[in-house]
Structure 1
């Protein structure tokens, strides 16, 4: 029987690694991109098509699912996998980011956060224990510890206090997870490194998480407006502070060139709403840069979205047709664009894995960046 969680590195190239995470619901090839299924759906996609595009794992969200339809209801209906008909691994974000960014906060203290729902104004409390309970009810395969996120522009004192509290919450999250019975025997839990852009804070956070002990380690608090240069500056040291033999997950990232740069710096897992959100707003990712299908110049363009892509949208329809769908507000336009973007991301991950295995990541990354930045069609 497949072990609960096993990470195997099969090849390295510089700091980059490729390998597999083995879990009971299947293997996850790394570097991996997780499509975001916030509310039990990857928007505009059927689960089978998400898998067909190359995804080994998707992401769900504690905050959104606790509010609607509720974790308890999902549990009564057989768990998140059965509810949405996705039979492979699911990672659930703990809800900490959404609580901080979407909610009308009323109280934040050592216990957790009491907030008003952005849906109907009802009051809820999310603590480390409650976050882990919700993820258990959902049946998550990879559970995230509950943490406190503050902007990278916060004062050093605020950043240090939030990091320290996140580490106390990480310990409580681990204890709550370990008390989860059968779920804990089949799932994994990741801790989240915090500390904004400060190398010392990040190092202290990593040391605290390692002392607690987790199956994998996330790098949190980035991709929140600090810019790529600052993010890469942090990634020059943050992954190195985490265990080499555990997966490293960069939360909420990102653009294709962000992912390539992060892989070069030793990151193994990613998630981002960008490919699906862009698909619904007319932006397609191509190997020569992003293009905006709303632009009039595509009205009679008979080329595919990306000539090098083998997705159904690219092998069947023209840019002109998809331009028409997007301009007309037709649902099919959002569906085709989303499917293409997700396939583009999964193709990129496959190319990165192959380049690492072959020892040619540097040349691949340079060629990708040159082509991707060379068009500027946004």
Structure 2
């Protein structure tokens, strides 16, 4: 029997690593989970049946980009994003706050929100907390994000404290615009605070006082060292409620994800697997390879003999290299299918390992494939 949207069942723990089940209006999501990024309502190079075939459970849409094109009201007239893009499973949409950060040359923060110029035609727009909720209601995403203030690594303590204050104020306005218990959509908060432990904890506690269906962790993977990212997660693990899902935004590499799972995180998204696929960088059971290298020109072996995706079952490295160097569009699809399969299988394996009480062993297998990156997580933190 399905449970009410927003119900999060914590099914097992191994240390701080968690395995759970998040119920939404479009189905339950097994966690830990990786969410493919579909910025404008489409995961690049892949169709919904491709995503179904590789076991994707939820995808992302981008509020900023969908608002500008084709327009959230146009999507609403077509029954919402699920109907528009024919993806019948859960969808999470961000709020546009990160775009205000990443496209800062076009944007200006004001007391009431972000004023920005479209990167498409230069037209002027304003995002307020209430506006981003309205847009996401039109999109009818299963999980909505409030407007927040994201800073890059290197921001001062005072700047970070002001960002936390504004993020909390805007989160409250988003909650007021979409009260708890409203039907259908879920609203997650976004914890900010850069790499300052006390600000991270303060941000989390302020947002918990307001109350949300889940808690995202924003403002990481924006240039900070990996050891500082993990410290921020360690601080939050005992603070955030056990009965709510935790979402680390925009992260990341396989080891980023596995280290974060160890710190109690449940949900992840990143453009890395699909962007790297389009650049010819592919993840395998033996580590990363670049398929355009000459050494694969006559290699008749599968990309990854331990992978059962369509790409690995069907084609040789030689053919995949040929497609890539010939700039054939099929290369984007086949490479993306494989990389997303790798990430989805990894979090599926992590879930199984948590439930079986062997998460440390599982994580160590991946650490051995990426020794140089793994060393970055153990670098001492200079106080």
More deviation, 97-106/67-76: 97-106
Give the direction of change, closer, same or farther, for the CA distance of 1:375–1:272 in structure 2 (3 Å limit). closer
In the TM superposition, what whole-angstrom CA distance separates every residue of 1:265-324 from its partner, at most 9, and x where no partner exists? 100000000111111111111122111111111111112111110000001101111011
Q: Extract unaligned runs of 5+ from structure 1.
A: none
In the TM superposition, what whole-angstrom CA distance separates every residue of 1:35-92 from its partner, at most 9, and x where no partner exists? 0011010000011211221111111110000000010111112210000000011010
Work out whether residues 252 and 270 of structure 1, in 8 Å CA contact, stay in contact via their aligned partners in 2.
yes
Residue aligning to 1:208? 206
Secondary structure at the aligned position of 2:20 is classed as strand
Secondary structure at the aligned position of 2:224 is classed as coil
TM-score when normalising by structure 1: 0.96
Work out whether residues 108 and 114 of structure 2, in 8 Å CA contact, stay in contact via their aligned partners in 1.
yes
In 1, distance between residues paired with 2:88 and 2:268?
20
Work out whether residues 106 and 118 of structure 2, in 8 Å CA contact, stay in contact via their aligned partners in 1.
no
In 2, distance between residues paired with 1:204 and 1:310?
45
In 1, distance between residues paired with 2:372 and 2:296?
19
Residue aligning to 2:146? 145
In 1, distance between residues paired with 2:315 and 2:95?
39
Secondary structure at the aligned position of 1:285 is classed as strand
In the TM superposition, what whole-angstrom CA distance separates every residue of 1:185-205 from its partner, at most 9, and x where no partner exists? 111110000000111101110
2:319 matched to 1:321? yes
In 2, distance between residues paired with 1:24 and 1:132?
17
TM-score when normalising by structure 2: 0.94
2:240 matched to 1:242? yes
Query: In the TM superposition, what are the counterparts of 1:15-30 in structure 2 within 5 Å?
Result: 15-30=16-31
Q: Extract unaligned runs of 5+ from structure 2.
A: 375-383
Out of 219, 223, 240, the position equivalent to 1:225 is 223
In 2, distance between residues paired with 1:80 and 1:193?
26
Residue aligning to 1:90? 91
Work out whether residues 186 and 213 of structure 2, in 8 Å CA contact, stay in contact via their aligned partners in 1.
yes
1:245 Cα shift? 1.2
In the TM superposition, what whole-angstrom CA distance separates every residue of 1:209-245 from its partner, at most 9, and x where no partner exists? 0000000000110011113222112222123321111
Query: In the TM superposition, what are the counterparts of 1:179-194 in structure 2 within 5 Å?
Result: 184-194=182-192
Out of 356, 369, 373, the position equivalent to 1:371 is 369
Out of 348, 352, 357, the position equivalent to 1:359 is 357
1:106 Cα shift? 4.7
Secondary structure at the aligned position of 1:270 is classed as strand
RMSD: 1.6
Work out whether residues 91 and 141 of structure 1, in 8 Å CA contact, stay in contact via their aligned partners in 2.
yes
Secondary structure at the aligned position of 1:217 is classed as strand
Secondary structure at the aligned position of 1:237 is classed as helix
Residue aligning to 2:42? 41
In the TM superposition, what whole-angstrom CA distance separates every residue of 1:161-190 from its partner, at most 9, and x where no partner exists? 0111000000001111229x9xx3111110
Residue aligning to 2:115? 114
In the TM superposition, what whole-angstrom CA distance separates every residue of 1:248-274 from its partner, at most 9, and x where no partner exists? 100000001111100011000000001
